[in-house]
Structure 1
């Protein structure tokens, strides 16, 4: 009986190992290893975690450890063997046709070290779906700040929203330095930037049920673009922002978000243009030809993650 049990354990271990090797290759592990070996210091910046280590860290991905769920996957709270508290994201299955882009983004994100970006510590590719390991932010995320009601200690005033928008400028500068030759990824980042700006303006979730049945299945990006095209920004704007005396600044940010969300990627502004646009918000007055009360914003020529005390998840 002892011999049989021992043989069973050995066979099971071998099967698990082969299964993990299969997942590792399918999820782009060989490509990641190649990129790390070609990039000096890359191994230190991108850690490869084992499935066993992350399974233990998350208590078998216990439901009690779930921090949040979204369209891209589920995030669990975990503790590594060295005592570090981390956020483990269990991603959705990666399209094998996009493995190259997925791995490029993992390497890029792991190399970003910015005060406003939650650090990507590494990943695990030997599981059925990729696992991404981030630093843990105890005080919540930008999503929490925007969507989970009013915070008396940190009210979401227009000045705070504008500050968050301006902070995007620094993040965009990082992307300009790192992905200037990757046009597809640049366009993806600009979609991301537009959604964040729309969230700040509307305080609505990127994907959620809207107030009416007619557009209940539409994303925030789509509903925001429709409102801009119909000259009805006020209808989708967060009521708390109306009549605060910041019409010009609010409209300017809305126009910038509209351009970033343009369905035609080629017509979206460059990251440099967005950075300049956000930087201009620091000026005491914003030059604008927009009439008051948010009328006709779309008629002007040329206009078509996890955050805590400034932290933002840059999700691939």
Structure 2
């Protein structure tokens, strides 16, 4: 194993080059019982290195030239990021025809499985945990958009691309659809990639990926955390409808509490509930210009967490005063929402778009 010093990969040991033999040994020759997950481009294995470090090894399938470029992009982007809420890239293996990536191992699987697997959120997850996960994701995206140089646009924010560690700390993963944004350009013309139900309708229609595309997708993730529902309804009278479509309709008729799960309704006061639903609606606005920046989203979620912990405190310490938002500014009560055309929103869950205009 060769190690290159510097900040690459965010670790003190630098970005490492692993041999194929090291990774074969770590995974027991890529044994089936070491598989953590499968994706469209390959398989992720659990591995144990010689120093007992547990890692996740992404072994990709044979790729076309464009896919090889995406793989290289993911490796480069992750090597530039050093944030506790972004999965860390330890290194790669270049001895094989398709390079393998070696990541930190994140033990609790995906946020998607945490929300929708087993008993689901409603019975076992406190509101504070949901808000903390949302705030951590917002902080990571804010860092990527505002602090990374050049800025990084994730391009496929969804619960299946958010990992949880043993403390349920959120970590953003899967940068295969990500783009490096030139500092002097607000948007990038690109082949549309993303997952239906999370995909920014404006990006879908214009092929222009912006930071506000990530904001839209984040809004959908926040909705999943607040409702415990999947992004596409599979049965009943709302079969085929997206979560955003269902929520915006409920907001329009002042029935949003019918969509939120029981624990959120029980633990969140009316002022905080108004604030968080307003924030969701801004994030999933049809127009990117009307969506907040991730930095503002992160700040508002942190203020909301403080308020939930101390609802009787002063507004400056995270409390809410009459007629004020979580940031102490006058709350707008007559918000007019622009609703997204249903034919843009209602699609099959898990399906993806990849096309250009």
Determine if the TM-score, normalized by the shorter chain, exceeds 0.5: yes
- How does 1:48-87 map onto structure 2 within 5 Å? 48-51=17-20, 53-69=22-38, 74-87=43-56
Counterparts of 2:71 and 2:139, CA distance in 1: 23
Verify: 1:242 aligned to 2:212, yes or no: no
CA deviation after TM superposition for structure 1 residue 86, in Å: 0.9
Identify unmatched segments of 5+ residues in structure 2.
Answer: 152-179, 182-186, 188-208, 307-317, 326-331, 340-357
Q: Secondary structure in 1 aligned to 2:102?
A: strand
Q: SS at 1:134's partner residue?
A: strand
Aligned partners of 2:21 and 2:117: how far apart in 1? 34
Alignment of 1:173-188 (within 5 A): 173-175=142-144, 176-178=146-148, 179-180=150-151, 182=181, 183=187, 184=209, 186-188=211-213
Deviation for aligned residue 1:84: 1.8
Distance 1:42-1:159 versus aligned 2 partners, 3 A rule: closer
Partner of 1:300: 335
Measured after TM superposition, the shift of residue 177 of structure 1 is 0.5
Q: Which string of whole-angstrom CA distances, capped at 9 and with x for unpartnered residues, describes residues 94-126 of structure 1?
A: 785576666445333333333333322234577
CA-to-partner distance for each residue in 1:278-301, whole Å, 9 max, x for gaps?
2331322276699xxxxxx99614
Deviations 1:249-289 (A, max 9, x none): 23422332333334444443222222232233132227669
What is the number of equivalent residue pairs in this alignment?
258
Query: Which residue of 2 is the match for residue 233 of structure 1?
Result: 256
1:279 aligned partner: 302
Whole-angstrom distance in 2 between the partners of 1:59 and 1:213: 48
Report the counterpart of residue 215 of structure 1 in structure 2.
Answer: 239
Higher relative contact order (CA 8 A, sep 6+): 1
Give CA deviations for 1:167-211 in whole Å, capped at 9, x if unaligned.
Answer: 3343234211004472436345324422331221112345x6534
CA distance in 2, matches of 1:228, 1:276: 23
Q: Cα gap change, 1:252/1:89 in structure 2, threshold over 3 Å: closer, same or farther?
A: farther
Q: Which runs of 5+ in 1 are unaligned?
A: 1-36, 291-296, 305-316
- What is the CA–CA distance in structure 1 between the aligned matches of 2:54 and 2:303, rounded to whole Å? 38
Match of 1:22 in 2: none
Q: Quick one: which of 252, 260, 275 aligns to 1:252? A: 275
Q: Which residue of 1 aligns with 2:130?
A: 161
The aligned counterpart of 1:313 is none
Q: Give the superposed CA RMSD.
A: 4.3
Partners in 2 of 1:130 and 1:219 — Cα distance? Answer: 37
The 1:302–1:45 alpha-carbon spacing in structure 2 relative to 1, beyond 3 Å, is: farther
Q: Give yes or no for contact 2:6–2:14 (8 Å, CA) kept in 1.
A: no
What is the TM-score of this pair, normalised by structure 2?
0.55
From the two aligned structures, give the one with the greater strand fraction.
Answer: 2
Normalised by the length of structure 1, the TM-score is 0.61
Larger radius of gyration: 1
